[in-house]
Amino acid sequence: MAAKKRVGDIFGYARVSTDDQDLAGQRQRLADAGAIRTFEDVVSGKRFDRPGLNDLIDHARPGDTLCVVRLDRLGRSLKELLETVDELKRREVNFMSLEEKIDTASAAGELIFHVFGAIAHFERRLIGERTRDGLAAAKARGARAGRPPLDQDKGAAARELVAGGMSPTAAAHHLGLGRSTVYRELRRA
């Protein structure tokens, strides 16, 4: 006899970027969607270290569903979204977004995420091709790749300032150079 698949719980995930923003609207929509508990973060979307999200993922069991109000609550970029949904899939946890009407428990919802993945892969390849084309065009115009060479006068001035007792950091600041440039010039000399 085949094992019966567990019907899981819905857990909400709500995120705002700053303390002045309110989670109440997200909480209510997630509760209306059936979330029995909502995990929360007050953290910028730029950071991917989200304790509330990590707690939810650790708490969820196979068959459960992570639910968000909108996709941007889960990740700032398509890459982050795909990585998170892949991690959920690996743990046999479904994903649902209310605004976009995505539910990976359904075949159509999973298809949408595969399409997102294909688009992200296509975008990465396009960026690579544009970069190669740009480098080839620059080379054809005679442009050199990499950093421009250090002006010899500035290099000599940096060495003299450091020899006169100024710190490399202060010499860099004084000459409008990067600190690592001054240290590289000192090693070269």
Residues annotated catalytic, as ranges: 17
Q: Are 98 and 68 in contact (CB under 8 A)?
A: yes
Q: Are 22 and 76 in contact (CB under 8 A)?
A: no
Q: Name the region of 22 (left: φ>0; alpha: ψ -120 to 50; beta: rest).
A: beta
What residues are paired with 15 via a beta bridge?
41
Both structure tokens of 111:
């298809």
Q: What residue spans of the chain are helical by DSSP H?
A: 24-32, 51-59, 71-74, 78-90, 107-140, 152-163, 168-175, 179-188
Q: C-alpha angle 70/88/2, rounded to 5°?
A: 125
DSSP β-ladder status, 94-97 and 102-103: antiparallel
Assign 68 to helix, strand or coil: strand
Q: What distance in Å separates the CA atoms of residue 11 and residue 40, rounded to the nearest whole number?
A: 11
